């Protein structure tokens, strides 16, 4: 990784159809220690942008580079943590199992469920999110707020250099939101990682982000408050 770069997008077009790109000519560089929030109206392509960076949707054009990547064919294991809008949890498995999935991705080993380090990371993340008593519970039996904490714990246990979070705070109550937000922000500070978050709540986005970007009309521009009141989803 050179000069703190975590990920860079150079003249990238994203979308699902070549003739109908959602965003064109996108240039973005995320540096370590940085928190960037992306806001914008619904259906504009914010989630697609995160999915493209996460490697789930190929970019239509341009260069997308994870800076620590040495082999262009395969992105580095465990470098990207992704919290999808629907959290991406294994609902029929326990809290511990889900968090262990993150811990295993973060440890450069093939399938090693008995790795001491992985288990320690998972244990710490569960503790940090206040889920010790629920560690053996099935995720599908937890409340929405608890599930969000599990998804966050999974990412923290993974120790990625970039967290991609798609509205990961959802409709959390104030208290839980602060716990989750503080945990993620302090992780970014401690590990000098980066956070790229899609957020529909401007106030919340402003609270956590160093940079606020607005996605509108197929472009990603710095958010200027006086100009752009963003419609909420």
Q: Between 131 and 170, how does the x/- string for binding to other proteins read (CB under 8 A)?
A: -------x-xx---------x--x---x-x---x------
Q: Where are the beta strands (DSSP E) in the chain?
A: 5-14, 23-31, 35-39, 61-66, 80-83, 162-166, 194-198, 211-216, 219-222
Among residues 83, 95, 118, 194, the one that binds other proteins under rule CB under 8 A:
83
Q: Which candidate, 166, 226, 164, 163, places its Cα nearest to that of 199?
A: 166
72 binds other proteins (CB under 8 A): no
58 binds other proteins (CB under 8 A): no
Q: In the numeric block, which tokens belong to residue 137?
A: 């519970």
Beta strands 23-31 and 80-83 are unpaired
4 binds other proteins (CB under 8 A): no
- Of 120 and 140, the one with the shorter C-beta distance to other proteins is 140
51 binds other proteins (CB under 8 A): yes
199 binds other proteins (CB under 8 A): no
Find the helix or strand (DSSP H, E) in which 176 lies.
helix 174-191
Largest interatomic CA distance in the chain? 54
What residues line the site for other proteins (CB under 8 A)? 51, 54-56, 75-93, 97, 100-102, 104-105, 110-111, 138, 140-141, 151, 154, 158, 160, 164
């Amino acid at each position: 990784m050179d000069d703190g770069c975590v990920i860079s997008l150079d003249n990238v077009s994203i979308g699902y159809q070549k003739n109908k790109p959602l965003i064109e000519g996108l240039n973005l560089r995320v540096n370590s220690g940085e928190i960037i929030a992306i806001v914008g109206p619904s259906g504009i392509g914010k989630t697609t942008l995160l999915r493209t960076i996460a490697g789930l949707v190929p970019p239509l054009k341009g260069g997308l580079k994870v800076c620590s990547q040495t082999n262009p064919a395969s992105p580095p294991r465990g470098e990207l943590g992704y919290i999808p809008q629907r959290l991406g949890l294994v609902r029929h498995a326990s809290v511990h199992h889900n968090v262990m999935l993150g811990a295993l991705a973060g440890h450069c080993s093939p399938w090693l469920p008995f790795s001491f380090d992985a288990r320690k990371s998972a244990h710490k993340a569960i503790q940090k999110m206040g889920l010790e008593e629920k560690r053996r519970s099935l995720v599908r039996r937890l409340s929405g707020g608890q599930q969000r904490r599990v998804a966050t714990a999974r990412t923290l246990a993974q120790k990625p250099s970039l967290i991609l979070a798609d509205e990961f705070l959802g409709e959390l109550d104030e208290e839980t939101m602060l716990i989750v937000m503080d945990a993620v922000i302090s992780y970014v500070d401690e590990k000098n990682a980066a956070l790229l978050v899609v957020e529909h709540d401007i106030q919340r986005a402003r609270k956590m982000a160093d940079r606020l970007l607005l996605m509108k009309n197929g472009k990603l521009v710095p958010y200027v408050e006086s100009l752009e009141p963003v419609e909420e989803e």
